[in-house]
Amino acid sequence: MRTCRVRAKVLSLIAQTNKILHEKGFLERARKEARFFTRERKMPFPKLMGCILGMIRESTQNALFRFFHALQSSTLMSQQAFSEARQKIRWEAFQELFGMTVNMTYHGYYETWQGYRVSAIDGSMLALPSDPALLEYYGGYGRGNTSPTAQGSILYDVYNRVVMDAQIAPRSIGEQRLTYKHIENLVQMESFSKELIIFDRAYASAKLIDTLHNSGIHFLFRVQRKFSRAIDEITQPDSLLPFAVNNARCVTLRVLKFALSSGEIETLITDLTDPCISTESFKPLYFKRWPVETQYDELKNKLEIENFSGRTVDAIKQDFFATMYMSNIAAAAYWEAQAEVVKARAGKNNKYQYQVNVNHEIGILKDHFIAALFAKNSRWRSLKVNYILACLAMRVTPSRPNRSLPRNPFPRRAKFHHNIKSNC
């Protein structure tokens, strides 16, 4: 468990969010028309944005009450007025704030493997509110494809718990096509450097290997039998193989084979051919991919990304990127509070290591994020953030190794009432 973290990361992220929300240039980029947000309202633009960011999925009316209560305001706003106001905001404004959390996270220290930033890509279908416009735009799932469902995908830093890139698209786009968008966006990041992406076997293809190689991104794939006859014929645990990615070019692959306890042979391929990186180090590295699977548990069951607060295409995208923003705020808060947990328990000889309880973390952020975001000055903001971190450090749970629950990649029965199909 890491203990070395950049201090005041959460404070910096929240302070920067407040600064951006009050910039005239951001308002110009965020509003759909120049005439919007020109008069002072009970919910001005910065606070409307903040309310959506901090909604952490509950009923809209409860979220509005919680928002004004956090600001110690007697103002009230109806759900209809809120819905009309948010329609004036471009969803790209929330994507921009999410991107800010990514860029700022990598200012300073972050954990790597052999000098590489390690990420993984995974997709999941997202159940949407039952609405004809959403069904037409995103497509459907279930019997008769009548349940509106979007395709989501994330590029996730498995060592630092950071969502580096996120995509939401119609189901017809598919996970593989969104992977290329992740790669395109990763190359354009200001922190782009030594990158390594881990892929499950569903993603492996000659085209993707070629794209990664040309982009300067290293990779580790798990591949199934019959992906390549030449790979299947290799019997050595560690071999180099020229692999044709198209008619004109080959990429040198390192083929790694491990015997599992079941007797099955697991095959990994990578372009990391440095002999200083041992054969044995790749098997545990591949299993570092697991956090991208568990991140969907946090997004769906803790941040409740599918509990959308609107029924328009724009509202869905606003909520999607607002959730990704809050996920990165939660990651920064986790590491800062976790450093305090490790420090407090040093030398106690506990049976288990202890870590911040993520369920409690989301609840604490729900209660205190807005007050920190709109604090009257930097001193009050610092006090509020310190209070959040202190609360997190007191809410811990033992970390028991070798416990895992498989993630079902298919949407279950709608968890939220507005996602249930109508009988009409």
pLDDT in tens, 312-342: 999 999 999 999 999 999 999 999 998 888 8
pLDDT digits (tens, 9 = 90+) for 130-158: 999 999 999 999 888 899 999 999 999 99
- Residue 168, both tokens: 């939401």
**139 and 174 in contact (C-beta within 8 Å)?**
no
DSSP summary character for residue 406: P
State how far the alpha carbon of 67 is from the alpha carbons of 23, 98, 314, in Å: 21, 20, 22
Residues 329/56, Cβ–Cβ less than 8 Å:
no
Q: Tell me whether residue 111 is exposed, middle or buried, using C-beta atoms within 10 angstroms of its C-beta: 0 to 12, 13 to 18, 19 or more.
A: middle
Q: How many other C-beta atoms are found inside a 10 Å radius of the C-beta of residue 90?
A: 15
**Mean pLDDT, residues 168-194 taken together:** 96
The beta-strand segments (E) located in 146-194 are: 147-157, 162-170
DSSP letters along 255-305, please?
Answer: EEEEE-TTSPEEEEEES---TTS-GGGHHHHHGGGHHHHHHHHIIIIIS-T
CA distance 419 to 424: 14
Number of domains in the chain: 1
The winner for highest mean pLDDT among 209-223, 361-375, 390-404 is 209-223
Mode of pairing for the β-strands spanning 265-270 and 218-223: antiparallel
Look up the domain containing 284 and give its range: 1-424
CB atoms within 10 A of CB 101: 23
Q: pLDDT tier at 2 (50, 70, 90 boundaries)?
A: very low
